[in-house]
Amino acid sequence: MAGMVLGGRYRLEAPLGSGGMAEVFRAVDERLGRRVAVKLLHPRALPPERERFFLEVRALSRLFHPGIVQVLDLGEEEGRPYFVMELVEGGTFDRLGPF
């Protein structure tokens, strides 16, 4: 997927993680020249998963707090919805140990 461009704007660079319904990639917004994170729904996602994905985006886009990433854009490429958010550099919670 590296090198793929979504929405004519977001070039995927490297995977950051994946879950049951989506993958997250580090990407570059070629229009603004900044790094972002892109969450891309799996191609095999069923309609209920698609609905959960859109619920997540709508909920996250309404939250404003320094500790919560901001949603920057929403789109769809070849039938796969995605949303773009701020990229937070650093590690994952996995490195902190079990919770």
Q: Which residues are annotated as a binding site?
A: 39
Which residue positions form the known binding site for ATP?
39
H or E segment and range at residue 11: strand 10-18
User: b vs e for 39-56, b when ≥16 Cβ sit within 10 Å of the residue's Cβ?
Assistant: bbbeeebeeeeeebbeee
